Amino acid sequence: MSNKPDNYTVIGLQWGDEGKGKVVDALAERCRYVARFCGGANAGHTIVTNGQKYALHLIPSGVLHAGTVNVIGNGVAFNPRRAIEEIDALAERGTKLGPDNLRISSASHCVMPWHMLQDTLSESRLGEGKIGTTAQGIGPCYSDKAIRSTAVRTGDLVDADALRAKVRSIAAEKSKVYAAVYGAEEPLDGDAIAEEYVEYGRRLAPMIGNTGALLRGAVAAGERILFEGGQGSMLDVDHGTFPFVTSSSVTACGVPTGAGVPPQAPGRVIGVIKAYTSRVGAGPFPTEQDNEMGQYLRDRGNEYGTTTGRPRRCGWFDAVAVRYAAELSGVDELALSLLDVPAGLDEMKICVGYRIDGRSVGDLSDGADEAFSPDTMDRVECEYETLPGWSEDIGQCRRVEDLPEAARAYIRHIEQAVGRPVGVVSIGKDRRQTIFRGSLVAGEAT
Ligand code: IMP
């Protein structure tokens, strides 16, 4: 195996919702496999093609390409009910999924009804201090994975008798815990949950298997894989704004563990960034604009959660946080999305440094007194660089050279501040509104 296989890894460098689905969809036609390695149905990946909109949560974003095998890796919190709903909805629209084009890791962990319940109970108990989760049971599912004795893996779904026994026993234990800790009055109905999941197992069995072996075989055979990240680097459980994070490893560092492949397998790492910043849920957000400007971005960018419908918090582009995330994942190229959204603003600001009590932190000129850490993000003051805005509608541009000079200058400043080249620019929702340049020009291998 060469040192860096000819694969792609597409991850978010902000707080999620960077437009990864569109970038994955655009690159998927050059790949044999599209594999998810983290997160679960908390993700919301939107693809628009021929005027049709697809909102995917659990199913990888390669599904709209014939000949692509979509893989749900072992690192995913797999909700079988949601997966079946998505499979059925795609079938109604003409995209049929089966063992030829969808494979689910038997080692992925199942989101059970009690995980959804616990997510909600725990958030209500936290009240004002809540994390603002998507209520998809993600944290409780991964915590059972770590506890082990109370976990159900997707491979367990295919052995009906063993599954029934396991589900009944865990449901009984959880009922006691929820009654004692949260005052839950109704015990869980272990028998009904067991039958529901036995049925999911029957339905999904042909697709469940050893996806790690499948992907390692692809690496050995030189078949190209695209690893599709969920959420964004600042939501990473280890490297994000803890505790206001999700519960899995969402950077490129999570690919080997979450997909069962060697450390070189991620290949070329593409970090997706929005032309501004958004965040949904609680937690620090230094460049947030809780004002008219934030509302302008929210309206024009339709910044409402794909999974929860919640309004997203919006603000200026934060190059300090993005540079940290790009360094962490060894990002090769940036994909800049939603560049059409800020059109009409008089000026554009890029955060290029933080200050805490007069000390400079993470200054991009490298003259910082202190290194950047997500742990101090709730206390920083931002230092901005201000650039002119543009008012033209750029949706019809097909080359970077067609963009207004102010938009090109904005791209150059982002490249300089983050220290990585922009290889993709997205200027609208449709597949055709994507400009490739650099090594990612359509059809070109890496
Ligand atoms: P959880 O992943 O549902 O536990 O939510 C934890 C935090 O991550 C919350 O702030 C969510 O809003 C955020 N989050 C989870 N998934 C996504 C996503 O796909 N996009 C944006 N934010 C997300």
Tell me which residue has its CA closest to atom 21 in ligand 1: 16
Q: Is 57 a catalytic residue?
A: no
- Domain final residue pick, 172, 206, 240: 206
Whether the CB of 18 sits within 6 Å of ligand 1: no
Residue 389 lies in a domain: yes
What pLDDT does 46 receive?
A: 83
46 lines ligand 1 (CB under 6 A): no
Whose CA is closest to 383, among 365, 371, 407? Answer: 365
Mutate to test the pocket of ligand 1, among 123, 273, 280, 308 (most ligand atoms within 8 A of CB): 280
Burial class (CB in 10 A: 0-12, 13-18, 19+), 399: exposed
State which ligand 1 atom lies nearest to the alpha carbon of 17: 20
Whether 281 lines ligand 1, by a CB cut-off of 6 Å, is yes
User: For this structure, is 45 an active site residue?
Assistant: yes
Ligand 1 proximity of 44 Cβ (cutoff 6 Å): yes
CB atoms under 10 Å from CB of 358, counted, come to 7
- pLDDT at residue 360 tops 70: yes
pLDDT confidence band for 340 (50 / 70 / 90): very high
The CATH number of the domain holding residue 420 is 3.90.170.10
Q: Is residue 184 part of a domain?
A: yes
Return the pLDDT at 102: 98
The pLDDT of residue 305 is 84
pLDDT tens per residue, range 48-88: 887 888 888 999 999 989 899 999 999 999 999 999 999 99
Structure confidence at residue 364 (pLDDT): 67
Domain end residue (candidates: 206, 228, 243): 206
Provide the pLDDT for residue 445. 42
134 touches ligand 1 (CB under 6 Å): yes
Q: Which domain holds residue 63?
A: 8-95+210-436
Residue 183 sits in a domain whose CATH number is 1.10.300.10
Using one digit for the tens of pLDDT, what is the confidence trace for 396-441? 999 999 999 999 999 999 999 999 999 999 999 888 899 998 776 5
Q: What is the distance in A from the centroid of ligand 1 to the CA of 218?
A: 31
The whole-angstrom separation of Cα 384 and Cα 349 is: 6
As a whole number, mean pLDDT of residues 232-237 equals 98
111-126 pLDDT per residue, tens:
999 999 999 999 999 9
Residue 288 and residue 349 in one domain: yes
Q: How many domains does the chain have?
A: 2
Phi, psi of 168 (to 5 degrees): -60, -45
Q: Residue 228: its pLDDT value, please?
A: 97
Catalytic annotation, pick one of 25, 45, 236, 318? 45
Dihedral through CA 403, CA 407, CA 413, CA 417, nearest 10? Answer: -100
Find the range with the poorest average confidence among 28-32, 365-369, 370-374, 419-423: 365-369
Tell me: do 164 and 223 sit in the same domain: no
Ligand 1 in reach of 234 Cβ (< 6 A): no
Q: What percent of the chain has pLDDT over 70?
A: 97
**pLDDT for residue 52:** 86
pTM: 0.95
Q: Which residue has the higher pLDDT, 267 or 1?
A: 267
As given in the structure block, the two tokens for residue 303 are 């910044």
Cα-Cα-Cα-Cα dihedral sign, residues 422, 423, 426, 427: positive
